Structures are given as C-alpha cells and as structure tokens.
C-alpha cells in the first residue's frame, strides 16, 4: 500500500528521483537563497502531508522516519488546503508555522515559502523552501524571501509539474 493518496504519486516519486530535478533543486537553493527545499505529498489517509524529499545544497537529507504534518497545521498544509502561495519573510514570525515540523526535522525555521503543485487539475503536494536559524547553519546570502523569491518558486513549481507529467502513464 502506498504512503500517498494522490493518483499521481508514482509519477511524482519517479520525477523526484530524476537527475533533472536534483539539478533544479540545487539551483533553486542557490537562487532564492534557501537552506533546504522540500516536496510534501498528500498522505494516504488524506489528512496529512508527508515530506517525500528534502534537499540541502548538494545532498538529500535523510530522516529516520517520514516527517508528516496534519492538514490542519502549518503553512505547508495551508498552502495545500487553499491552493495559494504562502510567504513568511521572517520579519514577524507567523504563528501558523508548525512547531511539530521543526521538531521532527531538527530545525528552527526563520523564513519559509510554500507553493502548491498541481497535476492534471489535482493538487498533489507542496514545494517548500526554508531558511534556518539553527546554531551553526551558515547565513544565507540574504535573509528573508521576497516577491522575486515567490515568483521563482511559482515558476519552479510549473517546471516541476512538467517533469512529473512526463512520468504519468
């Protein structure tokens, strides 16, 4: 049984493992700039999102178990529920952020941007980028995400949707 609810989950997972996507994730991390970029996919239960892939520059981030967040909690879930981009530029830490996600990923999120990913009219997941305030984390080239960051993420989501569609049977 699949962990994911989307009818396109297999295509999404295949796309996530493509060399093209690895290149694009690393490019996105540099351009935005972010510490990590992740892709959250709807869980089989339909009431949570699961972190399908978590990328830091030059490497995938492994987790002991699959991180998840209820659809009722956090900016990533809000992005999925509402189908709209969420931008937390870090100026005023938004209370909608999920402490559960930070705890399970062992991170302190300073800034976040989340963009919905849609395939064939179905919202399949959320692309998310974060800047971290963890002790020892290198400072990004610029703190905070901008409208330009948002446009870049939304454009990347469209490219990502195109890559996924190539894997749909």
pLDDT value of position 74: 87
Q: Are strands 86-88 and 109-119 parallel, antiparallel or unpaired?
A: antiparallel
pLDDT one digit per residue (tens) for the chain, 169 residues: 455 555 667 777 777 778 888 888 899 999 998 999 999 998 888 899 999 889 998 898 988 888 889 999 888 999 999 999 988 876 545 556 667 788 888 888 888 999 999 988 888 899 999 999 888 788 887 888 888 999 999 999 999 888 888 877 6
Domain segments of the chain: what residues? Answer: 9-165
pLDDT value of position 110: 86
pLDDT value of position 166: 80
> Each residue of 57-88: b (16+ CB within 10 Å) or e?
beeebeeeeebbbebebbbbbbbbeeeebbbb
Q: What is the CATH number of domain 9-165?
A: 3.30.450.40
pLDDT value of position 85: 93
∠ at Cα 45 (124, 16), nearest 5°? 35
Instruction: Confirm whether pTM is higher than 0.75.
Output: yes
pLDDT value of position 136: 79
pLDDT value of position 21: 85
């Amino acid at each position: 049984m699949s962990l994911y609810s989307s009818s396109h989950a297999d295509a999404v997972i295949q796309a996530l493992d493509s060399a093209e996507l690895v290149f694009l994730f690393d490019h996105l991390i540099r351009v935005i700039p972010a510490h990590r970029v992740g892709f959250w996919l709807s869980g089989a239960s339909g009431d949570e999102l699961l972190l399908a892939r978590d990328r830091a520059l030059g490497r995938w981030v492994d987790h002991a178990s699959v991180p998840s967040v209820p659809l009722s909690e956090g900016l990533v879930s809000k992005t999925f529920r509402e189908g709209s981009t969420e931008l937390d530029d870090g100026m005023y830490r938004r209370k909608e952020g999920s402490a559960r996600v930070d705890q399970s990923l062992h991170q302190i999120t300073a800034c976040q941007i989340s963009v919905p990913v849609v395939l064939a009219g179905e919202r399949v997941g959320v692309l998310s980028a974060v800047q971290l305030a963890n002790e020892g984390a290198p400072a990004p080239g610029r703190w905070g995400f901008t409208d330009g960051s948002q446009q870049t993420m939304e454009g990347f989501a469209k490219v990502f949707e195109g890559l996924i569609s190539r894997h749909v049977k």
